[in-house]
């Protein structure tokens, strides 16, 4: 897909995020806005997926390990054609398909139910291992959070990914540097995350600006390193695209009011 | 009577299953020599995945593998069900993935390793999960049936096995969710599950020798539970006893209680681990310490007949 079109789609997904979170009066805008470029690039340019055949066994898989960024995934899936915009009205509401966290049983296009942090990456490792086992040529992508990386399971899964030489797996770190209670460094420092990922056996790529579509595309299109799982550090900005949310810890899991939402949507006009 | 640890039967059953179903893969967390999955590892090295000492990772890896059309069997000690409970709940049961758990060394008859390793809560943990099938087989023949049945169920299944060698009984009819009447009687009914059956049978013999007519019903399936059979025998016998090598909270006793309440119960008593942790010791000594030998069970029952 043309880069201008991808950028426009990312802008539209950001509008979707604001729309659904504001309407629900709940949700996680900060980490959704930081990971938008990655999800749009994956679903519109990188992954082999077909919304009309969303259970195709040979499709590429995506696991949103940081499941609370569901609004970005829902916006992306909707723009890609998995379901209609009317579903946004029932985001986080009774009988809606767009649950607070992604639910494989309810939402088309979702490959794993996530939300309990640390689990998505481990499930993605299992998918990649299962794909190797069955000779399925698909590629498995997962987005993890930096706060999420405080979970031990992230590292158990990483060890297994390297042990089983899962070069059909790409782990993407949405590195916005913030979590609920503050910055990563205030809550539980990640230390040298690049060195940690390398030490765990990943082939590591670092993207200086994970909200720059071209940089994101270049990283995601880099050919796999045979025998090694890929780890991409996307340095992103929490709340990207909405001036009053950018770099603000407080917008991790808070919905904008009507006035704030209106301002955000204005800022996100093309 | 010939004895075999039901964990050994589990290992044998996996090999047999592996021969007949190439979708079956086996995962372990560095306990293949104890959970007895090493037989499968030897027979099908390309279908065995060691996850290292990382039970949580094993469960979610199995979850992911199941989405590729495989049927993963995960094994570790039953006591670690708690350690990977979030993964069993959210990673497997919430999406209703097709993952099986063959967890061994359950109960106090694990013995010498002590209370830190004696699972007395696993049935309670598993029963409460929506969509989970829970098996607690009482001998090798039931284990073979449970493993085979698990492979045919589309969804999560828990199979509780044990370390201690226990008697192999003549094969009984096996239907998932159905109990088996081992002794018909009218003075009281004893409901049980798992390898404690050996001692419950002893207790029955003692009761009969004293002139009582106890009914005995064994359940290999704890969920879905055979409410109908439990009610039938409760209505018939009125006095109900449950015996299990598990906490009296949340296990078989509570499954029976939920089923039979309001169905003619005159007396109800749960015999099991009475809300305490276990300790190191020889299995026989531990059974005595916790009141689970045949004579002790018989005595408790006779007090209330």
Partners of A103 on chain B (C-beta within 8 Å) are 94-95
Length of chain B: 305
Q: Mark out the alpha helices in chain B (DSSP H runs).
A: 6-20, 32-35, 38-43, 55-66, 85-86, 122-127, 140-152, 197-209, 227-237, 252-260, 283-289, 294-302
Task: Please write the tens of the pLDDT for every residue from A208-236.
Answer: 999 999 999 999 999 999 999 999 999 99
| CB neighbour class for B30 (10 Å; exposed up to 12, middle 13-18, buried from 19) | middle
Asked if B95 lies within 8 A of A112 by C-beta distance, the reply is: yes
Partners of A115 on chain B (C-beta within 8 Å) are 90
Q: Which of B12, B55, B121, B183 is catalytic?
A: B55
d(C-alpha B229, C-alpha B255), whole Å: 12
The CA distances from residue A134 to A127, A138, B192, in Å, are: 10, 11, 41
Is B154 touching A (CB cutoff 8 A)? no
**pLDDT tier at A165 (50, 70, 90 boundaries)?**
very high
Evaluated on CA atoms A154, A160, A166, A167, the torsion sign reads positive
CA distance B52 to chain A (A): 8
CA distance A195 to chain B (A): 22
Of B187, B188, B146, B189, which Cα lies nearest the Cα of B6?
Answer: B146
Asked if B66 lies within 8 A of A130 by C-beta distance, the reply is: yes
d(C-alpha B78, C-alpha B38), whole Å: 17
Asked if A128 lies within 8 A of B87 by C-beta distance, the reply is: no
Those residues whose C-beta lies under 8 Å from the C-beta of residue A124, and which sit 6 or more positions away, are: A61, A63, A65, A112, A140, A141, A142, A157, A169, A171, B64
Asked if B60 lies within 8 A of A164 by C-beta distance, the reply is: no
Cβ–Cβ under 8 Å, residues A161 and A127? no
Q: Which residues pair with A64 in a beta bridge?
A: A143
The answer on pLDDT for A270 being more than 80 is: no
CA distance A76 to chain B (A): 22
Helix, strand, coil percentages, rounded to 5, for chain B: 45, 20, 35
Q: What are phi and psi of A172, to 5 degrees?
A: -115, 120
Q: Which of residues 79-98 of B touch A (CB under 8 A)?
A: 86-87, 90-91, 94-96
Tell me the pLDDT of chain A averaged across its residues: 97
Asked if A105 lies within 8 A of B95 by C-beta distance, the reply is: yes
Cβ–Cβ under 8 Å, residues B164 and B283? yes
Element at A185 (helix H, strand E): helix A184-187
- Here the tokens at position A57 are 């066994």
Task: Please write the tens of the pLDDT for every residue from A102-153.
Answer: 999 999 999 999 999 999 999 999 999 999 999 999 999 999 999 999 999 9
Asked if B60 lies within 8 A of A130 by C-beta distance, the reply is: no
Of B25, B57, B86, the CB nearest to A133: B25
d(C-alpha A5, C-alpha B108), whole Å: 64
d(C-alpha B126, C-alpha B142), whole Å: 19
Partners of A61 on chain B (C-beta within 8 Å) are 67
Partners of B154 on chain A (C-beta within 8 Å) are none
Q: Mark out the alpha helices in A81-151 (DSSP H runs).
A: 119-134
Q: Which residue of B has its CA nearest to A101?
A: B90
DSSP 8-class letter at B191: E
Asked if A130 lies within 8 A of B96 by C-beta distance, the reply is: no
Question: What's chain B's Rg over C-alpha atoms?
Answer: 19
Partners of A57 on chain B (C-beta within 8 Å) are 68-69
| Chain Cα centroid distance, residue A170 | 12
Element at B102 (helix H, strand E): strand B100-104
d(C-alpha B49, C-alpha B46), whole Å: 8
| CB neighbour class for B94 (10 Å; exposed up to 12, middle 13-18, buried from 19) | buried
Asked if A130 lies within 8 A of B70 by C-beta distance, the reply is: yes
DSSP 8-class letter at B147: H
Asked if A157 lies within 8 A of B60 by C-beta distance, the reply is: yes
Q: Which residue has the tokens 């670092």?
A: A206
B245 as an active site residue: the answer is no
d(C-alpha B16, C-alpha A56), whole Å: 31
Q: Strands A182-183 and A203-207, how do they pair?
A: unpaired
CA distance B91 to chain A (A): 7
Which residue numbers in chain B have pLDDT < 70? Answer: none
Q: Testing the interface with A: which of B24, B26, B68 to mutate, by most A Cβ within 10 A?
A: B68
How confident is the model at residue B1, as a pLDDT? 87
| CB neighbour class for A181 (10 Å; exposed up to 12, middle 13-18, buried from 19) | exposed
The CA distances from residue A86 to A74, A83, A89, A257, in Å, are: 12, 8, 6, 20
DSSP 8-class letter at A100: S
Domains of chain B: 3-167 (3.40.50.970), 180-302 (3.40.50.920)
For chains A and B, count residue pairs whose Cβ atoms are closer than 8 Å: 101
Of B91, B102, B94, which Cα lies nearest the Cα of B150?
Answer: B102
Q: Strands B157-160 and B133-135, how do they pair?
A: parallel
Q: Which residues pair with A204 in a beta bridge?
A: A231
d(C-alpha B58, C-alpha B175), whole Å: 29
Q: Which residues pair with B239 in a beta bridge?
A: B267
Cβ–Cβ under 8 Å, residues B167 and B139? yes
């Amino acid at each position: 897909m043309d880069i201008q079109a991808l950028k426009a789609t990312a802008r539209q997904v950001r509008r979707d995020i604001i729309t659904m979170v504001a309407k629900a009066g709940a949700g996680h805008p900060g980490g959704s806005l930081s990971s938008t470029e990655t999800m749009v690039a994956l679903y519109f340019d990188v992954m082999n997926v077909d919304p009309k055949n969303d259970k195709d066994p040979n499709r590429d898989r995506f696991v949103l390990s940081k499941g609370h960024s569901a609004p970005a995934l829902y916006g992306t899936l909707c723009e890609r054609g998995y379901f209609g915009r009317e579903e946004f009205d029932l985001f986080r509401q009774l009988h809606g398909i767009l649950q607070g966290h992604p639910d494989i049983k309810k939402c088309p296009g979702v490959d794993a139910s996530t939300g309990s942090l640390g689990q998505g990456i481990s499930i993605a490792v299992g998918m990649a291992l299962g794909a190797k086992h069955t000779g399925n040529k698909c590629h498995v992508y997962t987005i993890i959070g930096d706060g999420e990386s405080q979970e031990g399971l992230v590292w158990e899964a990483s060890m297994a990914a390297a042990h089983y030489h899962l070069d059909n797996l790409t782990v993407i770190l949405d590195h916005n540097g913030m979590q609920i209670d503050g910055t990563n460094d205030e809550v539980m420092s990640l230390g040298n995350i690049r060195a940690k990922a390398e030490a765990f056996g990943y082939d590591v790529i670092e993207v200086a600006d994970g909200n720059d579509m071209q940089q994101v595309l270049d990283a995601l299109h880099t050919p796999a390193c045979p025998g090694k799982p890929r780890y991409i550090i996307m340095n992103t900005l929490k709340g990207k695209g909405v001036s009053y949310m950018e770099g603000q810890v407080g917008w991790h899991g808070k919905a904008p009011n009507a006035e704030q939402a209106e301002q955000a949507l204005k800022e996100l006009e093309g | 009577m010939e004895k075999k640890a039901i964990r050994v039967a589990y290992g044998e059953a996996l090999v047999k299953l592996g021969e007949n179903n190439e979708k079956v893969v086996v995962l372990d967390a560095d306990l293949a020599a104890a959970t007895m999955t090493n037989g499968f590892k030897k027979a099908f090295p390309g279908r065995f995945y060691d996850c290292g000492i990382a039970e949580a990772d094993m469960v979610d890896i199995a979850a992911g593998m199941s989405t590729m059309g495989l049927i993963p069997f995960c094994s570790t000690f039953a006591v670690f069900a708690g350690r990977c409970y979030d993964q069993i709940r959210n990673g497997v049961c919430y999406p209703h993935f097709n993952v099986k758990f063959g967890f061994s060394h359950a109960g106090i008859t694990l013995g010498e390793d002590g209370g830190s390793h004696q699972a007395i809560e696993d049935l309670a943990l598993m029963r409460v999960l929506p969509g989970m099938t829970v098996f607690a087989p009482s001998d090798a023949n039931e284990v073979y049936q449970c493993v085979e049945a698990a492979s045919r169920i589309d969804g999560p299944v828990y199979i509780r096995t044990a370390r201690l060698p226990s008697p192999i009984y003549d094969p009984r009819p096996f239907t998932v969710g159905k109990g088996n009447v081992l002794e018909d009687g009218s003075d009281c009914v004893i409901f049980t599950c798992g390898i404690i059956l050996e001692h419950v049978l002893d207790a029955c013999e003692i009761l009969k020798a004293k002139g009582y007519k106890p009914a005995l019903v064994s359940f290999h399936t704890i969920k879905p539970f055979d409410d109908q059979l439990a009610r039938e025998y409760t209505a018939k016998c009125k006095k109900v006893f449950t015996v299990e090598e598990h906490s009296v909270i949340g296990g078989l006793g509570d499954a029976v209680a939920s089923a039979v309440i309001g169905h003619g119960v005159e007396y109800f008593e749960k015999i099991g681990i009475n809300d305490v942790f276990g300790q190191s010791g020889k299995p026989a000594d531990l059974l005595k310490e916790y009141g689970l030998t045949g004579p002790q069970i018989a005595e408790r029952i006779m007090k209330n007949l």
